């Protein structure tokens, strides 16, 4: 009953490094939180919670994947149900310095919950063997929620508030946030399209193991990477 | 189902002491972090993370080794994938006081990732029974990355910045770092050459169990030993 990781299984490899990286990141954010100014402490705590929640779910996902070789779809969406709204809180906290109201947070949360519910139906209830109609329909509906967040970050409320602000730290933070939503978040739909019936699966024969490969890479970028960006902004602005 | 350690198995012995030493070291670095000046706190946290990550992986590796008697190659490289880049961060933080730019960190990380990827191919995909061509080729490619880090520490950017600095603490730190890369890191390729098809395996008949014996010794020196060196520099310079 010992843990054996096949040497040529990149998905298993990323589940393991993912687990440990999330745990290490949450320890990092918690300890470094003591070194930033008071106004940044909440953001660092949210980063720590996002990575800690993910560490626990990665622990279960890697075992599930090793034992069954299947995508741990339920666990993945259980994780996102908690971490994506927290990510919206993170975005809101950054924008708050430029004058954002609490309503912005709710709009981001509603759009991203819509995105996740549609995505879950698309993945979890994908008919046996995969069906392109099903995955494209629900993927499309999910993408509407994603596009809303993307629009808000680049042209909508978030962008406008940042443009009107004369705080360079806030401007820089919001610009980075917008890039993460554009590039980092876009890796998830690529993963989605690798499931049976998905476009990348039918077109290029990318197997369904790649779903988790992309999700794991994207999670590392968005949960740890974005957390580190917030940390570096916090530590720089605390030094002055 | 109780833990049994064969009395004459040096590899198992080092896996167990390694596990406990890593865990103890991470507790040590976390607590002593509270006693050093603010500018050293990040370095001590990184040391703690390196040893904590290793503790978790040693926990799995020793069980894997006891159950199968084989080298836990995947787990070993999963560990290095996280701890070697963190080690580069540690080097960068030491050199930063002498004026290093963030580009240096990226160069060190890229060189060491190259080293690990080539090493992984050499070890994980070594043909059944061992093949000298395979292990020498990939070992050679891996060594290029190692030599780059070594060169940077002794003659390149790191060495030049230290030479130009008039801070004796930084000078001492960088000199120690260079010695660790030269002596401490060189133990790993010795371990590598003990695998089937490796030079030390074919020439002297050093069995593949020695791979992990050398890796465990080297890990203790580099992860704990180097962490203690940074700690002692930090505590000395905090006293003034
Ligand atoms: C667009 C789209 C998707 C987007 C998922 C995203 C964008 C997830 C983001 C997760 C984050 C940011 C987690 C952070 O902790 C799905 C659901 C795969 C379904 C296919 C269409
Ligand atoms: C040169 C060389 C190697 C070097 C490995 C090293 C140098 C690993 C360092 C690990 C450290 C420093 C961990 C710290 O936490 C390999 C991959 C065995 C393959 C053979 C050639």
Tens of pLDDT, residues A110-140 = 999 999 999 999 999 999 888 899 999 999 9
Q: Is B74 in contact with A6 (Cβ distance < 8 A)?
A: yes
- Measured distance CA(B195)–CA(B201) in Å, rounded: 6
pLDDT of residue A239: 78
Cβ neighbours of A229 in B, within 8 Å: none
Shortest-distance atom of ligand 1 to CA A80: 13
Note the pLDDT tens digit of each residue in B56-114. Answer: 999 999 999 999 999 999 999 999 999 999 999 999 999 998 899 999 999 999 999 99
Q: Note the ipTM here.
A: 0.94
Nearest CA in chain B to A14: B78
Mean per-residue pLDDT over chain A, rounded: 95
pLDDT of residue A240: 62
Single pTM value for the model: 0.95
- Measured distance CA(B155)–CA(A164) in Å, rounded: 49
pLDDT of residue B212: 96
Whether the Cβ atoms of residue B180 and residue B226 lie closer than 8 Å to each other: yes
DSSP-assigned letter for residue B193? T
Nearest to A28 among B38, B49, B75 (CB): B49
When pLDDT is averaged across residues B161-189 and rounded to a whole number, the result is: 94
Q: Is B52 in contact with A24 (Cβ distance < 8 A)?
A: yes
Helix (H) or strand (E) holding A197: none
The chain A residues in contact with chain B (CB within 8 A) are 2-8, 12-13, 16-17, 20-21, 23-24, 27-28, 31-32, 35
Q: Is A16 in contact with B78 (Cβ distance < 8 A)?
A: yes
Cβ density class B138-171: b for 16+ within 10 Å, e for less? bbebbbebbebbbebbbeebbbebbeebeeebbe
pLDDT of residue A27: 98
Does residue A70 carry a pLDDT above 90? yes
Note the pLDDT tens digit of each residue in A73-110. Answer: 999 999 999 999 999 999 999 999 889 999 999 999 99
pLDDT of residue A192: 96
How far off is chain A from B213, nearest CA to CA, in Å? Answer: 20
How far off is chain A from B67, nearest CA to CA, in Å? Answer: 7
């Amino acid at each position: 009953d010992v843990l054996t990781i096949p040497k040529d299984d990149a998905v298993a490899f990323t589940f393991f490094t993912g687990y440990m990286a999330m745990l290490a990141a949450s320890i990092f954010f918690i300890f470094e939180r003591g070194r930033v100014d008071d106004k940044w402490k909440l953001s660092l705590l949210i980063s720590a919670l996002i990575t800690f929640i993910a560490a626990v779910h990665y622990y279960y996902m890697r075992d599930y994947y090793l034992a069954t070789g299947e995508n741990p779809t339920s666990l993945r969406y259980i994780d996102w149900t908690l971490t994506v709204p927290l990510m919206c809180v993170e975005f809101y906290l950054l924008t708050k310095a430029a004058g954002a109201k609490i309503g912005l947070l709710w709009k981001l949360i509603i759009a991203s919950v819509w995105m996740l519910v549609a995505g879950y139906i698309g993945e979890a209830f994908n008919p046996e063997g995969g069906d392109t109609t099903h995955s494209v329909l629900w993927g499309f509906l999910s993408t509407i929620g994603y596009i809303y967040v993307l629009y808000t970050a680049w042209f909508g409320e978030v962008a406008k508030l940042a443009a009107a602000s004369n705080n360079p730290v806030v401007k820089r933070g919001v610009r980075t946030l917008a890039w993460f939503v554009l590039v980092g978040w876009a890796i998830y739909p690529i993963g989605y399209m690798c499931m049976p019936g998905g476009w990348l699966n039918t077109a290029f024969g990318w197997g369904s193991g790649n779903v988790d490969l992309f999700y794991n890479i994207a999670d590392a970028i968005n949960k740890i990477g974005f957390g580190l960006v917030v940390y570096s902004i916090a530590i720089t602005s605390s030094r002055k």
